[in-house]
Amino acid sequence: MFDKLGPIDGRVGGKVVWAEFSSSGLSKDDMSKIWKLSDIDGDKELRFTEFCIFAHLIEMVSGGQSVPSTLPAKF
């Protein structure tokens, strides 16, 4: 999925990621919280690992769990 989004220099921009996951049915608030947790280096782009965290959290929250306030020390 990451490669399908056309990463540049190993990163995918926020607009591309949001467009891909906009059909998840999550609120903008939840999506924003998930983004903040996933964009570990705060560069407004996701590297592969950050993208995996983002996708996992989207799936988790779509399944009925709450957005965590922090990521576990070892994710």
pTM of the model: 0.91
CA 64, CA 31: separation in Å to the nearest integer? 14
What is the CA angle 1-12-22, rounded to 5?
65
Domains along the chain with CATH numbers:
3-62 (1.10.238.10)
Contact assessment for residue 12 and residue 51, using Cβ atoms and an 8 Å cutoff: yes
pLDDT, tens digit (0-9, with 9 covering 90-100), for 29-70: 999 999 999 999 999 999 999 999 999 999 999 999 999 999
Q: Which residue has the higher pLDDT, 75 or 44?
A: 44
Token pair 């999506």 is at which residue?
31
Residues with Cβ within 8 Å of residue 52, at least 6 apart in sequence: 2
Please provide residue 24's backbone torsions phi and psi, each rounded to the nearest 5 degrees: -70, -20
